[in-house]
Amino acid sequence: MPAQNMNKPAKNKPEKKEAPRLIAENRRARYDYFIEERLEAGLVLQGWEVKSMRAGKAQVAEAYVYLKEGEAFLFGANITPLKTASTHVIPDPIRTRKLLLNKSELSRLVGSVERKGYTLVPLDLHWKEGRAKLEIGLAKGKKQHDKRATEKDRDWQRDKARVMRRG
């Protein structure tokens, strides 16, 4: 019976360094809306947009998602072109970008937005397996008193943590 090589050290494979996943985040959305459901959508992008996003030059803070004729679009997202952008392409930083969603997801979103009074809000822009993805939230708007209650609760949690640290 052959002896197994138990004393042979395992080869240490170099660990893959994971690239930063987040490109841009819409923090204002969590303050202004109750996020009921989250979805991940792909984006139809041009080459210069991908390069700019890799450099971290994207913003979704003032963007919103709208549905038109059974398709979803991202409007108002700003992707600043790099200085080295191609000369034969005229970059438009605030162009409307199409979102890629399944037919069933789109039909569910259309029903929620048109009948139930929800809105679609971009939450963050991130990389997933080398592709740019947009996380969108099905949301309802907060009233002013809801925002104050959220802020009050956040302040209380911060104060409580501070007191606990001091002992």
Structural domain boundaries of the chain?
A: 22-166
Q: Is the pLDDT of residue 11 over 80?
A: no
Q: What percent helix, strand, coil does the chain show, rounded to 5?
A: 30, 30, 40
Residue 167's contacts (CB-CB under 8 Å, 6 or more residues apart) are none
Q: What is the pLDDT of residue 151?
A: 84
22-166 belongs to CATH 3.40.50.300: no
Q: What is the pLDDT of residue 2?
A: 56
- Per the model's pLDDT, the better-predicted residue between 3 and 105 turns out to be 105
- Per the model's pLDDT, the better-predicted residue between 9 and 55 turns out to be 55
Q: What is the pLDDT of residue 100?
A: 92
- Per the model's pLDDT, the better-predicted residue between 41 and 15 turns out to be 41
- The model's pTM is 0.72
For the beta carbon of residue 122, count every other beta carbon within 10 angstroms.
25
Q: What is the pLDDT of residue 18?
A: 59
Across the range 10-37, mean pLDDT stands at: 74
